[in-house]
């Protein structure tokens, strides 16, 4: 049952029912993900001192989106999304538990880290697309923006503000402890998702003779014919080249270039989380003044400045401040791109449109991670942040054509298109 409440003139999702359990599972999973994401590069630095190998762990965490991303979206539109999500979480919990045992027994290696990153992201291609498609079944259309903001803000609280400071403590207890904790969060999240009513995510039957290839093509076509979504996708792809370079080498930037150690790395990640919380709180006001697409444009522009500070000012305080600003505007970017995608896509095709968007957008991240490792080796550990700033400049430039008067301030649109055929998206004034 879809439920919403009125708050300060805006429609927001009610906590009772399916949304509350989805939010709880997402937040708990984010806490575990943050433990693993922070612990993996720190573990990698104990296994090798080569930046390119460390960056390869991050790069292989992105590659499954290129191989399986479109397939994951098509499957998400065919199956019970609730069941797909809890099954994936259960499998991921078992995989991370096995990895924790391997680390505890001293069998960790760069190859094993790469294999884990690849396997988890492969499963994530189905989970994320199913989650994006499931949310509109739990929340009114008018409340999607608020629902996404609440989900992402909760994830940042758990994944950054709470998990960031905990990581060094858990690592001190043992290298395997963060991964064991992550496994527990996956399994509890699976139980929460399994408790959702089965009929919440029921899908309409697919047309007779429909194939996965035809359905994937329809999703790509829908994305291509929607100008604002096409522009957002191109901009996000360019951003992700820069993000790949930054994420893959951030631990080296903090611990080696700034000589700030693991504590400095935790402080940087905590600042990012705090900034994200502010972004979730401010997003509604920005959208009210600028519209969703212009809010995204502002976010990218401000992030350029933050990246320049990260790569040019050799001060932990400056980096922490820049990470807070970067997180604030990153939240604005993410909430609005996700909401626009959910509002502008046909419900029966949302998994495929989501997968097309994500696959094309993520395509540059593995390249960025490898570029980050290469430039860090050649020109210094601060240069990946400056490389990221250059790609964000290209991203903002690519987004400008998406600023159309009929959709830049408002967000109510009508998407029209036949099932699994040529699909067009036409905004209405």
Q: How far is CA 197 from CA 118, 132, 254, 345, 380, in A?
A: 31, 17, 45, 24, 53
CB within 8 A of 48, min separation 6: which ones?
54, 110
pLDDT in tens, 48-95: 777 777 777 766 766 787 788 788 888 877 778 888 889 989 999 999
Whole-angstrom distance, CA of residue 153 vs CA of residue 160: 10
Three-class DSSP category at 13: strand
Mean pLDDT for the chain? 79
- Tell me the average pLDDT across 114-143: 81
Whole-angstrom distance, CA of residue 283 vs CA of residue 329: 9
Handedness of CA 150, 152, 158, 160 (dihedral sign): negative
Residue with the bigger pLDDT between 133 and 339: it is: 339
Domain spans of the chain, in order of start = 13-203+212-426
pLDDT band at 140 (very low <50, low <70, confident <90, very high): confident
Per-residue pLDDT at 406 exceeds 90: no
Whole-angstrom distance, CA of residue 342 vs CA of residue 158: 24
pTM: 0.71
Residue with the bigger pLDDT between 346 and 316: it is: 316
- Tell me the average pLDDT across 388-404: 87
Residue with the bigger pLDDT between 307 and 416: it is: 307
CB within 8 A of 306, min separation 6: which ones?
322, 323, 325, 326, 329
Q: Minimum mean pLDDT among 119-128, 143-152, 161-170, 391-400: which range?
A: 161-170
CB within 8 A of 144, min separation 6: which ones?
135, 136, 339, 342, 343
pLDDT band at 2 (very low <50, low <70, confident <90, very high): very low
Residue with the bigger pLDDT between 181 and 429: it is: 181
Cα 104 from chain centroid? Answer: 29
Per-residue pLDDT at 259 exceeds 80: yes
- Tell me the average pLDDT across 150-165: 78
pLDDT of residue 14: 56
pLDDT of residue 206: 59
- CATH for 13-203+212-426 is 1.20.1250.20
pLDDT in tens, 313-336: 999 999 999 999 999 999 999 889
Percent of the chain with pLDDT over 70: 85
Per-residue pLDDT at 222 exceeds 80: yes
pLDDT band at 356 (very low <50, low <70, confident <90, very high): confident
pLDDT band at 283 (very low <50, low <70, confident <90, very high): confident
Question: What are the beta bridge partners of residue 10?
Answer: 7
| Percent of the chain as helix, strand, coil, to the nearest 5 | 80, 5, 15
Residue with the bigger pLDDT between 31 and 388: it is: 388
pLDDT band at 365 (very low <50, low <70, confident <90, very high): confident
Percent of the chain with pLDDT over 90: 20
Written as six digits, the tokens of 114 are: 């790469």
Per-residue pLDDT at 410 exceeds 60: no
Per-residue pLDDT at 405 exceeds 70: no
Written as six digits, the tokens of 337 are: 């791109």
């Amino acid at each position: 049952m879809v439920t919403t409440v009125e708050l300060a003139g805006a429609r927001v999702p009610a906590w009772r029912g399916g949304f509350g359990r989805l939010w709880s599972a997402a937040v708990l999973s984010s806490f575990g993900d943050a433990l693993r994401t922070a612990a993996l590069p720190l573990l990698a630095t104990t296994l090798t001192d080569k930046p390119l190998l460390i960056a390869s762990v991050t790069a292989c965490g992105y590659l499954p989106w290129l191989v399986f991303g479109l397939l994951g979206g098509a499957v998400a539109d065919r199956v019970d999304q609730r069941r797909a999500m809890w099954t994936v979480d259960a499998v991921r919990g078992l995989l991370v538990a096995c990895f924790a045992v391997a680390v505890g027994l001293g069998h960790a290696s760069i190859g094993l880290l790469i294999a884990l990153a690849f396997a988890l992201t492969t499963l994530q291609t189905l989970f994320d697309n199913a989650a994006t498609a499931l949310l509109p079944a739990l929340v009114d259309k008018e409340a999607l923006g608020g629902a996404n903001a609440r989900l992402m803000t909760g994830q940042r609280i758990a994944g950054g503000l709470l998990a960031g400071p905990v990581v060094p403590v858990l690592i001190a207890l043992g290298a395997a402890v963060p991964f064991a904790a992550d496994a527990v969060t996956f399994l509890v999240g699976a139980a929460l998702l399994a408790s959702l009513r089965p009929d919440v995510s029921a899908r309409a039957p697919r047309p007779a003779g429909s194939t996965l290839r035809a359905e994937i093509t329809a999703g790509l076509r829908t994305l291509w014919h929607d100008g604002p979504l096409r522009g957002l996708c191109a901009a996000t792809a360019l951003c992700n080249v820069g993000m790949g370079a930054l994420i893959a080498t951030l631990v080296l930037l903090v611990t080696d270039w700034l000589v700030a150690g693991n504590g400095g790395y935790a402080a940087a990640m905590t600042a990012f989380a705090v900034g994200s919380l502010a972004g979730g709180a401010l997003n509604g006001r920005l959208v009210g003044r600028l519209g969703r697409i212009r809010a995204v444009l502002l976010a990218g522009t401000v992030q350029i400045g933050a990246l320049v500070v990260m790569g040019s000012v050799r001060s932990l305080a400056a980096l922490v401040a820049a990470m807070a600003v970067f997180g604030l505007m990153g939240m604005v970017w993410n909430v609005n791109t996700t909401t626009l995608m959910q509002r502008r896509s046909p419900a029966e095709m949302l998994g495929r449109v989501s997968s097309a968007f994500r696959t094309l957008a993520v395509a540059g991240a593995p390249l960025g991670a490898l570029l980050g490792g290469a430039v860090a080796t050649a020109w210094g550990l601060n240069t990946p942040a400056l490389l990221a700033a250059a790609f964000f400049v290209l991203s903002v430039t690519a987004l400008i054509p998406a600023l159309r008067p009929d959709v830049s301030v408002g967000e109510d649109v009508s998407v029209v298109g036949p099932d699994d055929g040529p699909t067009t998206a036409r905004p209405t004034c």
